[in-house]
Amino acid sequence: MTGSLDMVYRIVPREYFSIKAEGSFEEQAQHLIEQCHPGATGMRLRKLSADTTEAEIPCQQSNRALHGFMHGGCFFTVGDTMTALMCLFFVENESERMLTVNASIRYLRPIGKDTVQAKARLVRHQGKILDFVCDFFNEAGKRAAQAKYRYALVEPR
């Protein structure tokens, strides 16, 4: 495992993103999130490591679907973002990238006004393949959704 903050400086394309000069890895990651699509979810990282990551997602107008509940794509985007950040701990050189190669999600309960707690965990790391599960909980602690993500660490040509 290489360690992630140094890798952020090396692989994030500066023509698209600004990188903070100071701060923890969580603060750096949050700064990047706010500059791209996942920022529209309102997600806030609470913990970030190679094995587990936690975030909060407030139900707000920018992440609602037309029926008034939190958009399913919001859950999916947050989980994909959390697990991609976890992959940074396994990137070994600056030409390597993490790519989502497979993902699925099961929606179990609608979220109308709660702040969702998202908890991702690494379930398998075999060579350049990483598998994660991300659970999403409502304020009562009941699972609202569960997503599975598989990543490959590759060197694009």
Task: Compute the 3-state secondary structure of the chain and give helix, strand, coil in percent, each to the nearest 5.
Answer: 25, 35, 35
103 pLDDT band (50/70/90 cuts)?
very high
129 alpha-carbon distance from chain centroid: 17
pTM check: above 0.95: no
Domains and CATH numbers, the chain: 4-154 (3.10.129.10)
pLDDT at residue 17, rounded to an integer: 92
